Structure 1
């Protein structure tokens, strides 16, 4: 469903102008059904980088870890919804489990559309361990929902759409409102031309997967955790 009532707000920060796009529109709550859509062979290989830290060699009492051998590649298919492609990605196992625990995963199986900045296993586990009691503890449910909500944006923000928006607004930065209510800043690096993300405190995170098409949106995979603040 098309976005409605798009307004542009201009704010100024140190180092340049940030153009914040506040989107108020329709989000379909219907379940995404990809079968009526035309089949597509378009696919993007998803990164698999965090499992290396899980490997341990065989000892006298213990066999090698399950990821001792080369792990098979996983792909994001353009004709499948976010929920399915995230489920098949070994690199996003912790992110998927967190979404399920927070009750947010079914949303990614709806028509949306949604833009997701998914978090890989190793950075997610490292961040979760720093939270007193653990990020997945019931006592930290609100913090978990805020972190996950900050990784999802309503609308289909493909790399091409981001590029067109920056060109139209004559800026290398735009701010998009996330499900948590906080603004995420997306910026194009002048040296590399790559997109990077930043939060309200200026923390910057790079991307591993730069916008894989989904039947109900677009999937990015970050290189690190980006909380709304801190």
Structure 2
């Protein structure tokens, strides 16, 4: 009888613990580009599985930034989809992927990365605190500006282009990814 009561109580704690993990997002995955993104994997391990980010992954490899994005971080990555790269002027991606343009490619890619783990709620809070606009320093040293358009977070780059966050809070073991629909360009 004592063992049965103990097992019942233990089962209840395990069940409640499972619910709590699901509610705080620790075990939650999100679908991006047709693939599950696992919070237990790092930014690179998840990104390589997204069909929407093959251009970004190729660019990260060409820029030799894989090891950095696999490191502990934490990082916040604004990850442009393939369609964002396709919307750039003809020849831009091909030019950036050339070995002689590696520094330019690194500058563009690191302009999409913040040092630290900024969830959507953190970005929205900064926007509200800044009376509708917040500035974030990127890893390349430039700034991006965040603002709200209704309930959507928009990011403006130094070149004036604006991206919309289409999927927020894709948690990683070394930070977070926010999927965006436009490539942000630093001042060059």
TM over 0.5: yes
Q: Name the counterpart of 1:210.
A: 168
User: Quick check: which one's helix share is greater?
Assistant: 2
Distance 2:113 2:94 in 1: 25
2:139 pairs with 1:179: yes
Match of 1:100 among 45, 61, 82: 61
Q: Name the counterpart of 1:111.
A: 72
Q: Which runs of 5+ in 2 are unaligned?
A: 1-24
Residue 40 of structure 1: how far off its partner (Å): 4.9
3-state DSSP class of the match of 2:118?
Answer: coil
Q: Could you tell me whether the CA contact under 8 Å between 1:128 and 1:135 is conserved in 2? A: no
Residue 173 of structure 1: how far off its partner (Å): 1.4
Distance verdict in 2 for CA 1:128–1:142, change over 3 Å: farther
If the length of structure 1 is used for normalisation, what is the TM-score?
0.65
3-state DSSP class of the match of 2:155?
Answer: strand
Q: Name the counterpart of 1:45.
A: 31
Q: Name the counterpart of 1:226.
A: 184
Q: Which structure 2 residues correspond to residues 1-230 of structure 1 after superposition, within 5 A?
A: 40-46=26-32, 48=33, 73-127=34-88, 129-131=90-92, 134-167=95-128, 169-189=129-149, 192-229=150-187
Q: Name the counterpart of 1:69.
A: none
* Aligned residues: CA RMSD: 2.2
Q: Could you tell me whether the CA contact under 8 Å between 1:157 and 1:218 is conserved in 2? A: yes
3-state DSSP class of the match of 1:111?
Answer: coil
Larger Rg: 2
If the length of structure 2 is used for normalisation, what is the TM-score?
0.78
Pairs aligned (count): 164
Distance verdict in 2 for CA 1:218–1:141, change over 3 Å: same
